[in-house]
Structure 1
Amino acid sequence: MQVVLLERIEKLGQMGEVVSVKPGYARNFLLPKQKAMRATKANLEHFENQRVQLEADNLKRRDEAVKVSSTLEGLTVSLIRQAGDSGQLYGSVNTRDIAETVTKSGVTIDRSQVVLNKVIKTLGLHDVKVVLHPEVSVDIVVNAARSAEEAELQLRSGGKVTSSHEDDDVVDEAEEVTEEVVETAAESEE
């Protein structure tokens, strides 16, 4: 199906381009969200008449997004969640959770603006992309932790904080393996 794009769409094209897309993508996403319109002769004429106004509106929205992006740049939000000893969350962090936390920090964003490449199911620091405008996006850091103190430790250390007994278990296992290797080597020399 041929459509005329009414705004820039990543991996598809710029505003005003006539592109060919699958009918389902056009019917279910582009047309209902008014990101495109069918490429008929009447629609092309209507688009050309409205082009200047559409470009001016797009430029205004882009400028506002750039201002907001300067506020969001380098933002770190902490989400307190329950998790097991291994660092696995009981549940996950979703786009709604992130959008609500960012909004509480002073910048209003919608959950549809948060892009998660993978589901957050572990404790630690996670990079998340926020798309403010089709041409403006910013990366923020989501800090998933069990408590506020743990969140602070993770920020300072730059990663997931493991409990001390886990570290002791790893050291004990490493010492046992080393002793076994030494004993095996001593037996093979005899």
Structure 2
Amino acid sequence: MKVVLLERVERLGVIGDVVTVKDGFARNFLLPRQKALRATTSNLKVFEAQRDQIEIRNAEARATAERLGSRLDGEGYILIRQAGESGQLYGSVSGRDVAEAVEAGGGHVERSQVVLDRPIKTLGVHDVKVRLHAEVTVTIHVNIARSQDEAERQSRGENIIASQFDEERAAAAQQAQELFEGGAGQAMEEAAY
């Protein structure tokens, strides 16, 4: 199906481009969200008559998105989640979770604006892109931890999982050293006297 774009659509084109897309994509995404019109002669005439208004509306929406983006860009948000010893989350963090964290932090982001290539399934600080407008994308930092203390340690750059294993290894070595120095049998002999 041929459509004329009413706004910039990633990997398709910019305002006014006439492109051919699959019928389902046009019927289910582009047309209902008013991102495009069918490329009929009457719609092309209507588009050309309203082109200036559409471009002005797009410029205003981009300016609003840039203002919001300047406040959000580089901001950090903390999500407390349950996770196993290896740092794997019980579940995953989705776009909805990120949008709710931004809302709780005072920003405004729709969950459809959060761009996750894949769900987040591990502890740590993750960079997440937020597409506020077709031409405005910002990056926020999402710190996923098991507790507020872990989140603070991760924000300082510490690898929680590696340090946890190092602490356990050091404690085991200390315990083995104490047993070796004191001698397991020596402690029993002293107790008998």
* Residue number in structure 2 paired with 1:51: 51
| Cα 1:152/1:165, change in 2 over 3 Å | closer
Partner-residue secondary structure (3-state), 1:162: helix
1:125 corresponds in structure 2 to: 125
Query: Are 1:13 and 2:7 an aligned pair?
Result: no
Note the residue ranges of structure 2 that are not aligned, 5 or more in a row. Answer: 173-193
Do residues 26 (structure 1) and 26 (structure 2) align?
yes
Structure 1 outlier segments of 4+, above 3 Å: 168-172
Q: How far apart in 2 are the matches of 1:94 and 1:165?
A: 26
Cα distance in 1 for residues equivalent to 2:162 and 2:16: 55
Q: Which runs of 5+ in 1 are unaligned?
A: 173-190
Structural RMSD (CA): 1.6
Q: In 1, distance between residues paired with 2:131 and 2:87? A: 29
Q: Larger C-alpha radius of gyration, 1 or 2?
A: 2
Whole-angstrom CA distance in 2 between matches of 1:160 and 1:79:
16
Q: Would you say 1:155 and 2:155 are equivalent positions?
A: yes
Q: How many angstroms does 1:160 deviate by?
A: 3.7
One-letter amino acid of the structure 1 residue matched with residue 56 of structure 2: A
Q: State the alpha-carbon separation in 2 of the partners of residues 40 and 83 from structure 1.
A: 54
Q: TM-score w.r.t. structure 1 length?
A: 0.86
Quote the residue 1:87 is aligned against. Answer: 87
In the other structure, the counterpart of 2:176 is none
1:126 & 1:168 partners in 2: Cα distance?
24
TM-score, normalised with respect to structure 2: 0.84
- Tell me: CA distance 1:165–1:135, structure 2 relative to 1, closer, same or farther (3 Å): closer
How many corresponding residue pairs?
Answer: 171
Calculate percent identity across the aligned residue pairs. 57
Measured in 1, the distance between the counterparts of 2:16 and 2:119 equals: 34
